[in-house]
Amino acid sequence: MPGARCWICHPLRMNTKVSLEDGTMTDTDTQYAIRNRIYPLSFEPICKDYIWGGRNLETKLGREIPAGIVAESWEIAAHPNGQTKVTAGPLAGHTLGALQAHLGERLLGSDDDAVGFPLLIKLLDANRWLSVQVHPDDAYARAHAGELGKTELWIILHAEPGAELIYGLKAGVDQERFAHATRTGAIARTLHRVPVQAGDVVFVPAGTVHALGPGMIVAEIQQNSDTTYRLYDWDRTGADGKPRPLHIQRALEVIDWQMVEPSLVRPRILSAPDGWAREELARCPYFQVERLTGQPGAVWADHCNGENYQIWAALSGGASIHWAEAPVEMRGISWLLLPAALGAFEVRAETDCVLLRIL
């Protein structure tokens, strides 16, 4: 994966490993290894082969992916359905879930009271229509699925001409009309379609009826949940030759009927140091996402002071994270998790670049 293999260790400590399971080390220099449990973390993605995927993460993004269909790449994940592993440094090979259990507040911060890691970061290759679906909120998901609800944010990285998505309901569609449409096979007539292009941003609160259309690659920031209620699947069959199950009743119970013909996000311009343009893409109880466009040589000074972690991504171009140890490079498209206890750091634009900052 371009930009992912970028960790630079001290030349004398390259083989230092930490075992989180039993607390032992493979190197006798335990103090060095303990100190270096806190560093910018990169992860090995997990690929999912859902029927709507393709090969665009390879052909468009230049990624190395498994053979066959790849629909989703879980970039940073600590979910029962997928745990990404650290790719470099003393913690290489350990899952994000294991890191959280071992590091606690040093990873997530004192302000985070989440039981598990709160977010799930993905890349999506929408080579065919995704099912028309809806996600529950926290209260419903905990009661019926035993996990968080799902509010999410889409950032369109690539869109073919004419690409569109489903986002909410058409004007005049209420619960009664929509329920009738699900019974009569007329659901497509109730759905609000929106054309999109690269750079567009879509905020999808829990309860929003939605679906990605073909010809898009999307970065998704979402709550750490995998609960989806499928309303319509385009009359197709799954890999087993049978129609994939629908969840009509559950979906009707969680739909937000106020999400009628919503608009795409209009990013809010924020102040920024010289050489940077900064936009706020989303601010909600679950995440805050900013997009930074940097010129070569631009420097962003920041810190993780123990209260919160940060996630940084390079969507295009190149940048580097400079902190107390050796710098770490980011090349589009790659992601880094900066633990809450990391301390002061700088982000330096090496080329023209577009980055994400997730709080």
* Domain identity same for 210 and 63: yes
| pLDDT at site 18 | 55
* Domain identity same for 159 and 192: yes
Last-in-domain residue among 219, 254, 289: 254
* Domain identity same for 148 and 204: yes
Instruction: Give catalytic residue positions.
Output: 230
State the pTM of this model: 0.90
| pLDDT at site 17 | 56
List the domain range (segments joined by +) for residue 280.
267-358
* Domain identity same for 176 and 291: no
* Domain identity same for 225 and 273: no
| pLDDT at site 34 | 39
* 304 in any annotated domain: yes
Least confident of 21-30, 144-153, 159-168: 21-30
Residue pLDDT, tens place only, 246-261: 999 999 999 999 999 9
CATH number of the domain encompassing residue 294: 2.60.120.10
Query: Is the pLDDT assigned to residue 23 strictly greater than 50?
Result: no
Nearest to 77 by CA among 54, 112, 44: 44
| pLDDT at site 115 | 73
| pLDDT at site 31 | 36
* Domain identity same for 285 and 235: no
* Domain identity same for 243 and 322: no
- Rounded distance, CA 341 to CA 6, Å? 21
End-to-end CA distance of the chain: 24
Work out how many domains the chain is built from and give that number: 2
* Domain identity same for 315 and 239: no
Predicted confidence band of residue 332 (pLDDT cuts 50, 70, 90): confident
Query: Is the pLDDT assigned to residue 26 strictly greater than 60?
Result: no
Cβ pair 233, 131 in contact under 8 A? yes
* Domain identity same for 231 and 323: no
**Tokens read off for 10:** 């001290």
* 344 in any annotated domain: yes
Residue pLDDT, tens place only, 213-270: 999 999 999 999 999 999 999 999 888 889 999 999 999 999 999 999 999 999 999 9
Average pLDDT over residues 339-349: 97
Last-in-domain residue among 202, 233, 254: 254
* Domain identity same for 193 and 278: no
